[in-house]
């Protein structure tokens, strides 16, 4: 059992969920606790009794949404569930990636396993079978209102269970019918309410949000490292990261944590700035800068709120993962209630918060890069980080070093900042005014994903510039954290001696960073500072 992903009658830690999604632990199978199995059986049994008593049940003996006033004969209830999966299969746009699809199936299993959905044990067993085989729905990412859950995206999950649509695996995509036939797996035949139970929840937008959270947190780690490297590269002041500023005089926890991270990285490199008492004054001119521009000096104040935002979103995600997003609900005592647990409000807010936070992060990096690459502000480094030692005097001005990367980062920053407008504020009325207030949680997650993709490109550009600056200073990094990242950058992006195309280096570094974000449980920083 220790080798299984065990769904217990209690909260599942978010770390365990992420371990499963990114294969950070070799789980053998998904298993459901016997207590939950009992709840599932009793919930399903009560649904059948309610139906026997001719009590109308939404989505089982009635139509869906605005059509809920229309009665459905019980002998048509099976067709109703099948029809639901058919008419909802109308998604558009690019497909969700493998990890998001994998997360979607897991989260739907967790939600239905809580014993509030009136589904049969057979449905959950069938879903687990697909998960254990590594079969996940190939799902278009456009079409969800985040209102009655992710109806359209989750219909693709329901369809592969019955042998329709396409399946994404680690080896590629395949027709569901082909895989089921080859593996001698029978298509599932949905019982009353089961089609509705599969689609009527937040599992797709939660899955997408989990992936965004993982990548976004990794990029926040990168931003802390970049701040430390910039400080070293331009001879910055360390006092801005000390306890006097960030703990004694200011009471914001995120600021203190952020400062502590950067300070620890600087200490690993034995970096220190000139004490104030040793700074000289000649002819009424101070012989060195006594404080840095805001983008460096205020790094804790900039990154601290972002750190706390991620902590908030993490709490919301963990609660959503462990919640039941379905309607109607039927508990093990036979109580039935309709409600709105399929509404993705927390997810919409969470992804909008991340978008805004990551927009600040992009702007922060862009401003820092401007300090690094400008000969007027980088305190002795050459303009555009040009390596002049091997250039003839006559050709030095014909080389522009990393100027192009700075321009690329400025463009990416502008695009990222334009994407920070919250999606949730664009709620509209839909489905004949039944869904008259929608969350747009999936839309927020989708746009957050696009933003993160650009931020990976931006971070790659900035890291190439920072390693160039460190090398120009002749600085050899010593800390475990910095050395590991420096070597990663240098593996795909060598020191720039003469003007050269850098597009392939950016792409290769971006791939390496994404791979590292997938592999990492907690990245270097959190391991070193907890």
Burial of 415 (0-12, 13-18, 19+ CB in 10 A): middle
Distance CA 113, CA 115 (A): 5
Instruction: Give the phi and the psi of residue 226 in degrees, each rounded to 5.
Output: -60, -40
User: Is domain 210-522 in CATH 3.50.50.60, yes or no?
Assistant: no
Residue 519's H or E segment, with its range, is: helix 503-519
What is the greatest pairwise CA distance in the chain? Answer: 97
Q: What's the rounded Cα separation, in Å, for the pair 21 and 463? A: 28
Residue 286: helix, strand or coil by DSSP?
strand
- Mean pLDDT, the chain cut into blocks of 10 residues (530 residues total): 86 96 94 96 95 87 80 82 94 97 98 97 98 98 91 97 97 97 97 95 97 98 98 95 94 96 96 80 76 94 98 98 95 93 93 98 98 94 90 80 96 98 88 78 96 98 98 96 96 95 98 94 54
List Cβ<8 Å contacts ≥24 apart for 184-188: 185/129, 185/133, 187/161, 187/162, 187/163, 188/122, 188/123, 188/126, 188/161, 188/162, 188/163
Nearest to 357, CA basis, from 426, 441, 419, 425: 419
- Beta carbons within 8 Å of 154's beta carbon, 6+ residues apart: 104, 108, 198, 199, 200, 201, 203, 204
CATH 1.10.275.10 residue window(s) in the chain: 5-201
Of the CA atoms within 13 Å of residue 337, those in its CB half-sphere come to 10
Dist. CA 164–CA 171, nearest whole Å: 19
Q: Are the beta carbons of 181 and 477 closer than 8 angstroms? A: no
Across the strands, what pairs with 5? 30
**Which of 95, 109, 107 lies closest to 40, judged by CA?**
109
pLDDT for residue 530:
42
Say how many residues make up the chain: 530
pLDDT score, position 117: 96
8/384 Cα distance (integer angstroms): 56
Confidence at residue 274, expressed as pLDDT on a 0 to 100 scale: 78
Pick the CATH number of 5-201 from 1.20.200.10, 1.10.275.10, 3.10.180.10, 1.10.260.40: 1.10.275.10
Residue-by-residue DSSP string for 34-54: HHHHHHHHHHHHHHHHHHHTT
Do residues 329 and 117 touch, judged by C-beta distance below 8 A? Answer: yes
- How do beta strands 140-142 and 92-95 pair? antiparallel
Tell me 248's DSSP state. Answer: I
Q: Which part of the chain has CATH 1.20.200.10?
A: 210-522
According to the model, what pLDDT value does residue 523 have? Answer: 57
Characterize 436-458 residue by residue with b for buried, 16 or more Cβ atoms within 10 angstroms of its Cβ, and e for exposed. eebbbbbbbbbbbbebbebbbbb
510 in helix, strand or coil? helix
């Amino acid at each position: 059992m220790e080798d299984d992903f065990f769904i217990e009658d209690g909260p599942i830690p978010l770390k365990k969920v992420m371990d499963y999604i990114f294969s950070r632990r070799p789980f053998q199978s998904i298993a459901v606790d016997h207590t939950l199995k009992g709840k599932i059986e009793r919930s399903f049994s009560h649904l059948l009794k309610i139906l026997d008593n001719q009590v109308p049940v939404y989505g089982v003996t009635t139509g869906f949404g605005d059509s809920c006033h229309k009665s459905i004969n019980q002998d048509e209830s099976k067709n109703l569930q099948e029809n639901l999966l058919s008419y909802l299969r109308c998604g558009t746009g690019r497909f969700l990636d493998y990890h998001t699809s994998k997360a979607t199936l897991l989260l739907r299993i967790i939600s239905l396993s809580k014993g509030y959905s009136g589904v049969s044990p057979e449905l959950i067993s069938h879903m687990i079978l697909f998960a254990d085989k590594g079969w996940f729905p190939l799902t278009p990412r456009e079409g969800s209102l985040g209102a009655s859950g992710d109806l359209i995206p989750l219909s693709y999950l329901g369809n592969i269970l019955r042998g329709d649509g396409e399946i994404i695996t680690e080896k590629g995509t395949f027709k569901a019918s082909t895989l089921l036939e080859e593996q001698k797996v029978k298509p599932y035949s949905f019982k009353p309410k089961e089609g509705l139970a599969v689609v009527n929840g937040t599992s797709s937008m939660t899955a997408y949000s989990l992936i965004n959270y993982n990548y976004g947190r990794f990029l926040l780690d990168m931003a802390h490292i970049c701040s430390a490297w910039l400080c070293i590269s331009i001879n910055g002041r360390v006092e801005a990261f000390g306890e006097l500023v960030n703990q004694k005089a200011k009471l914001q926890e995120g600021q203190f944590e952020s400062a502590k991270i950067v300070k620890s990285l600087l200490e690993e490199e034995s970096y220190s700035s000139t004490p104030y008492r040793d700074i000289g004054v000649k002819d009424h001119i101070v012989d060195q800068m006594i404080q840095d521009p805001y983008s460096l000096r205020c790094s804790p104040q900039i990154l601290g709120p972002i750190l706390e935002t991620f902590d908030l979103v993490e709490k919301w995600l963990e609660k959503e993962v462990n919640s039941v997003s379905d309607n109607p609900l039927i508990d093990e005592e036979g109580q039935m209630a309709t409600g709105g647990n399929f509404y993705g409000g927390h997810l919409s807010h969470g992804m909008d918060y991340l978008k805004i936070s990551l927009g600040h992060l992009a702007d922060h990096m862009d401003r820092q890069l401007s300090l690094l690459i400008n000969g007027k502000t980088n305190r002795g480094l050459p303009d555009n980080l040009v390596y002049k030692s091997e250039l003839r005097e006559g050709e030095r001005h014909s080389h522009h070093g990393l100027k192009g990367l700075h321009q690329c980062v400025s463009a990416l920053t502008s695009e990222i900042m334009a994407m920070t407008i919250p999606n949730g504020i664009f709620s509209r009325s839909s489905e004949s005014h039944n869904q008259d207030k929608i969350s747009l949680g999936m839309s927020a997650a989708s746009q957050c994903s696009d933003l993160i993709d650009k931020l990976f490109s931006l971070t790659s550009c900035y890291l190439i510039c920072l390693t160039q600056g460190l090398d120009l200073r002749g600085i050899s990094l010593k800390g475990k954290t910095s050395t590991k990242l420096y070597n990663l950058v240098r593996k795909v992006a060598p020191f720039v001696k003469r003007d050269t195309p850098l597009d392939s280096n950016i792409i290769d570094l971006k791939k390496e960073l994404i791979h590292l974000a997938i592999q990492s449980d907690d990245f270097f920083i959190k391991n070193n500072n907890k």
